[in-house]
């Protein structure tokens, strides 16, 4: 069973909210507390049932018994490696701290080995990250996804003074992730929460297709008027589509390019990583015939493909917007036809189609019409089922 965990960060994300939400969803609180205690840093944790704007949630709290020193990454990794937790939880926790260290090093322009962890090196942040990784392991989560993240706004007080929200490390950790600001002028996404999400999440976007099994709510410290200050986690089995992600759509109206140039631009865009490129006839102003160029891109590829559209076409402007892309889970199988082997793409709902390039190659080699080879491949596959 593939268990998915979705972080619904509509009120931001922090380490303590995440641990509380996972405990609320069923991760054993005693096991989490025992794992954190094995770090041997002299602190106590608690889980309390609270309400935020009427929603019942779990509040995770860490209290240190003594002042906490600033720590280097190597010291924190040593603490995690020596803890009584699973290898998977150790691996995830170390990966989160390494990513966090890299972000801090970039912000301060120092080698990662020289980074002093201040707020994020304090005991509560270590407990939050280890607790979250242990809780995900206890729930046997195999894949994590995250919603667009509400960062908050305003300023936040740190050991470096007053900084704008998002804090520099948070902003760097969430590069390429969809973010926004809504609600009170406070920090809603912390470096700890951003580090866990950006390290463990396979993607950011809408809720992936799943059969929901449980839901948990982790409470933030404050209770806002505007919305419930909670992080929601939704757990379930993967179902239906294998892909449910946000994509960028790039469009341009063109009325002064030859078909050859349009075809070449489309080919270059596909080779550069576009998920799809389409050309659609238009009737433009003054009755002139034109073409709509539409490019579907991964968000991280958008800017490079935009520059390619400008370089390869005559457009002086274009449109960009976000859209949701869902693709059925698919698998490949091979059939033996009278003309040779053809790969078949099979959808999770039973649809199927022969691979065009295989059929095209056989048509060229045998001299048989392409449509005959396609029909033969479909017939063989239907018989094999």
Tens digit of each residue's pLDDT (9 = 90 or more) over 352-384:
999 999 999 999 999 999 999 999 999 999 998
- Token pair for 277: 């490129």
Chain length of the chain: 385
Non-local CB neighbours of 5 within 8 Å, separated by 6+ positions: 22, 136, 139, 141, 143, 144, 145, 233, 234, 235
What's the whole-model pTM score?
Answer: 0.67
Cβ–Cβ < 8 Å for 302, 245: no
The per-residue pLDDT for range 91-140, each reduced to its tens digit, is: 999 999 999 988 888 877 777 666 656 544 467 888 999 999 999 999 99
**pLDDT computed for residue 120 by the predictor:** 47
Per residue in 48-95, pLDDT (tens digit) is 999 999 999 999 999 876 666 667 788 888 999 999 999 999 999 999
The answer to whether 290 and 255 are in contact (CB under 8 A) is: yes
What does the angle CA 345 – CA 348 – CA 352 come to, to the nearest 5 degrees? 35
Distance CA(8)–CA(229), nearest Å, equals 12
The domain at 244-328 falls in which architecture?
2-Layer Sandwich (3.30)
At 149, phi and psi to the nearest 5? Answer: -100, 125
- 293 pLDDT tier (thresholds 50, 70, 90): very high
Residue 220 sits at φ, ψ, to 5 deg, of -80, 170
Residue 62, strand partner residues: 45
Of the ranges 69-73, 174-178, 274-278, 327-331, which is most confident? 274-278
Record the tokens describing residue 340, joined without a space: 């040779």
pLDDT at 74: 84
Question: How many of the other CB atoms lie within 10 Å of CB of 50?
Answer: 16
For the chain, strand residue ranges (E) read 3-8, 43-52, 55-64, 143-146, 149-150, 155-158, 161-164, 179-180, 201-204, 210-219, 230-238, 241-254, 276-283, 289-297, 319-328, 330-337, 340-347, 352-354
Domain residue ranges in the chain: 3-239, 244-328, 330-384
What one-character DSSP code corresponds to residue 182?
-
Q: Of the candidates 318, 255, 246, 253, which has an alpha carbon nearest to the alpha carbon of residue 275?
A: 246
CATH superfamily, domain at 330-384 = mk0293 like domain (3.10.20.300)
Name residue 322's beta-bridge partners.
248
Residue 254 has pLDDT above 90, yes or no: yes
Question: What per-residue confidence (pLDDT) applies to 119?
Answer: 47
What's 24's DSSP letter?
Answer: H
Tokens matching residue 268? 């270059």
């Amino acid at each position: 069973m593939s268990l998915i965990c979705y972080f619904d960060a509509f009120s931001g994300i922090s380490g303590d909210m995440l641990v509380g939400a996972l405990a609320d969803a069923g991760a054993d609180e005693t096991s989490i507390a025992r794992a954190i205690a094995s770090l041997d840093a002299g602190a106590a944790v608690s889980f309390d049932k609270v309400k935020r704007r009427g929603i019942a949630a779990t509040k995770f709290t860490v209290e240190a018994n003594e002042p906490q020193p600033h720590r280097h990454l190597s010291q924190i990794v040593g603490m995690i490696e020596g803890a009584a937790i699973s290898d998977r939880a150790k691996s995830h926790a170390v990966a989160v701290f390494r990513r966090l260290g890299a972000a801090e090093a970039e912000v301060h322009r120092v080698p990662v080995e020289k980074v002093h962890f201040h707020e994020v090196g304090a005991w509560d942040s270590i407990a939050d990250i280890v607790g979250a990784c242990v809780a995900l392991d206890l729930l046997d989560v195999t894949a994590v996804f995250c919603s667009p993240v509400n960062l908050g706004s305003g300023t936040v007080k740190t050991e470096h003074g007053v900084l704008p929200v998002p804090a520099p490390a948070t902003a760097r950790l969430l590069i390429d992730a969809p973010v926004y600001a809504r609600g009170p002028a406070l920090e809603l996404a912390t470096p700890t929460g951003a580090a866990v999400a950006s390290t463990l999440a396979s993607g950011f976007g809408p809720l992936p297709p799943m059969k929901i099994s449980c839901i948990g709510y982790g409470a933030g410290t404050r209770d806002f008027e505007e919305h419930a200050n909670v992080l929601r986690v939704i757990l379930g089995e993967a179902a239906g589509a294998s892909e449910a992600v946000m994509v960028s759509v790039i469009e341009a109206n063109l009325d002064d390019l030859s078909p050859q140039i349009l075809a070449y631009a489309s080919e270059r865009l596909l080779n550069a990583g576009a998920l799809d490129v389409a050309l659609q006839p238009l009737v433009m102003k003054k009755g002139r015939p034109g073409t709509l160029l539409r490019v579907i891109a991964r968000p991280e590829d958008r800017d490079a493909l935009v520059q390619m559209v400008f370089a390869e076409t005559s457009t002086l402007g274009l449109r960009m917007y976000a859209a949701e892309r869902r693709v059925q889970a698919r698998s490949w199988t091979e059939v033996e036809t009278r003309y040779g082997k053809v790969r078949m793409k099979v959808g999770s709902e039973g649809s199927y189609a022969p691979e065009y390039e295989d059929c095209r190659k056989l048509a060229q080699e045998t001299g048989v019409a392409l449509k005959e080879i396609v029909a033969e491949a479909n017939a063989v596959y239907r018989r094999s089922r």
